[in-house]
A = this chain, B = another copy of it.
Amino acid sequence: MTVKINTAEQAASLIDKYDTFLFDCDGVIWVGNELLPSVKETIELLQSKNKKLIFVSNNSTKSRIEYIEKLLKLNINNIKLEQIINSAYSTAIYINEVLKLNKDKKIWVLGQNGITSELQNFGYETLTLDDIKDKELTMENINNLIDLNVGCVVVGLDFQLTYLKLCITLQYLLNKDIPFIATNIDSTFPFKNTKLPGAGSVVEIASFSSNRKPDAICGKPNPGMMDSILSHHKLNKDKTIMVGDRLNTDMKFGSVNDIDTLLVLTGIELESTVSNGHPDVTYYADKLGDLYALGSK
């Protein structure tokens, strides 16, 4: 049963029920460069009640520090770096804590610095085309470009994608013993009034050429990201709620992982889609800020 949060009592009861709030950002906390109404007050209310707040994004190219900076600019304070989880960080947590990859193994990364730096922070040695020195970087030389110490492949969005990078990635993926980890599977991302190919498109070409599915996908709505969050933050699923504005990523992320969800209507979904009930939505509200605003009336 999907319930609309309409009253001060409902808002208070929802806040009481959960210890941890996972937030999608765009369409929930902000839209573009504008903070949404009463979000600051809601965040502060949750902080005053010692709730754990985690901000969850699929973007692996933006660093977590940039998220903190954006929150600060919007006057949301007291958020620590570990409260920001993007798909690059989630991937690094997954490899370290779930996959428990040995630190003497290198990780081949088809992706940006956002990914390599998070992996390096956990003590892993990463390998990209830029790291291959003193070798002829051609297809003809493919057999010499493979490093036998590579023990894991990470694929995500790579603005410097080339055919040779795909060739090398395929060589590792042809070895079925090497885990294939994807940051996220968004097919596109919005950019300058249009769309550009997203991490999911890069994952798809690696997947299609190797005839393998990723062993884990560390973005919403896939379990890999939830595994990372739960493992890293030692959360209790029954006391955790996912707040988002999209059914196909945020709400699905909650429901496939058996976590309650709150849909806010400040993004792309309409009330009519959920007012008769939706299997992925536990609660919905006009806006996140209602958790504060309904009680302050």
Q: Does A234 contact B (CB under 8 A)?
A: no
The residue from B161, B166, B194 contacting A142, defined by CB atoms under 8 A apart: B194
- Contact (Cβ within 8 A) A192 B162: no
Contact A208/B187 with A161-B162, A161-B166, A162-B161 known, Cβ cut-off 8 Å: yes
The residue from B192, B196, B208 contacting A170, defined by CB atoms under 8 A apart: B196
Given A142-B192, A142-B196, A187-B209, list of 20 further CB < 8 A pairs?
A139-B159, A139-B191, A139-B196, A140-B192, A143-B192, A161-B161, A161-B163, A166-B197, A167-B196, A170-B188, A170-B196, A171-B194, A174-B194, A174-B195, A188-B209, A195-B209, A200-B208, A201-B208, A204-B205, A205-B205
A-B contact pairs, 26 of them (CB 8 A): A139-B159, A139-B196, A142-B192, A142-B196, A160-B162, A161-B162, A161-B163, A161-B166, A162-B162, A166-B197, A167-B196, A170-B196, A174-B194, A174-B195, A187-B208, A187-B209, A187-B211, A188-B209, A195-B209, A201-B205, A201-B208, A202-B205, A204-B204, A204-B205, A205-B205, A205-B208
Q: Can you list the 6 inter-chain pairs with the closest CB atoms, starting with the nearest?
A: A197-B209, A205-B205, A201-B209, A161-B163, A204-B208, A166-B197
